[in-house]
Amino acid sequence: MDGKYRVMLIDDEESARKLMKAAISWESLGMEVVGEAASGIEAINVIDDIKPDIAFVDISMPFMDGIEFTKIATERYPNLIIIIMTAIDQFEYARKCVSLPVFEYMLKPLVRGEVTKVLERAKEKLAVTKNNWDDQNEDAILDAPDESNPTELIKKYVKENFADPKLNLSFIAQHFGFSSSYLSRKFKSDSGKNFVEYLTEIRMEKAVKYAEKGYKMYQTAAEVGIPDPNYFSRCFKKYTGKKYTEYMMP
């Protein structure tokens, strides 16, 4: 697996994601699909763990569309190659992205040959970018601020701002002036868990309380910063071992 470029598929249609995985010869391109998301909200929550080099992003998704996701992603992950997927009747909508550093726009349904050509170009760009980035990243790690214990400050910030759906490791790193890689290691070392686990725990602790008060799932999901109810439901079940309705007041 080492050395392959990492690809993430962000599309609310599961069938479209399955087709993409099956139709493209990722192996021959030196790539692998390492993660998926069914909404921009889910993508923001898992992208720090997936660490993709390339993201295919559907422009029309619930809760956070492709344009909003792209705005956030290109600001936080400047080396991420984003390929926007859009239906022909949404193309004018897609033009709102022209001011953003999108690598390519592709019309749905995607054509295998065209996708392969775009990915070959993406590889060329990544090869150059990665060479430059390796040097810069080492400097960023070495120059990370020597704070005695930023973890407690970060925990406090998360407890006060967990309801922000755009919150993730990259956002926190930028806010506190650290590199993401340094902060990730520091937080895990100090707290014994990674940042995503901690953020999810805080959100789910609050979610349980809302459930016990009788809040509808979609209401609780919005209150704890995961307004995508499908993704919220999976997080809740993983954290508690139970469905949301099992926690609600009778």
Long-range contacts of 12-20 (CB under 8 A, 24+ apart): 12/38, 12/39, 12/58, 12/60, 12/61, 12/62, 13/58, 14/38, 16/58, 16/108, 20/56, 20/110, 20/115
Q: Is the CB of residue 173 less than 8 Å from the CB of residue 183? A: yes
Domain with CATH 1.10.10.60 in the chain: 150-246
Domain 5-140 adopts which CATH fold?
Answer: Rossmann fold (3.40.50)
**pLDDT tens digits, 133-167:** 574 444 444 344 445 578 999 999 999 999 999 99
Neighbour-count burial of 238, counting CB atoms closer than 10 A to its CB (0-12 exposed, 13-18 middle, 19+ buried): exposed
Residue 105 parent element (H or E): strand 104-107
CATH topology of domain 150-246: Arc Repressor Mutant, subunit A (1.10.10)
Q: How confident is the model at residue 2 (pLDDT cuts 50, 70, 90)?
A: low
* pTM reported for the whole predicted model: 0.87
Q: Where do the CATH 3.40.50.2300 domains begin and end in the chain?
A: 5-140
The DSSP letter of residue 89 is G
- Indicate the SS3 state at residue 238: helix
Residue 231 is encoded by which pair of tokens?
């993704």
| Average pLDDT, rounded, for the chain | 89
- In this predicted structure, the answer to whether residue 131 has a pLDDT above a threshold of 90 is no
User: Tokens 């390492």, residue?
Assistant: 34
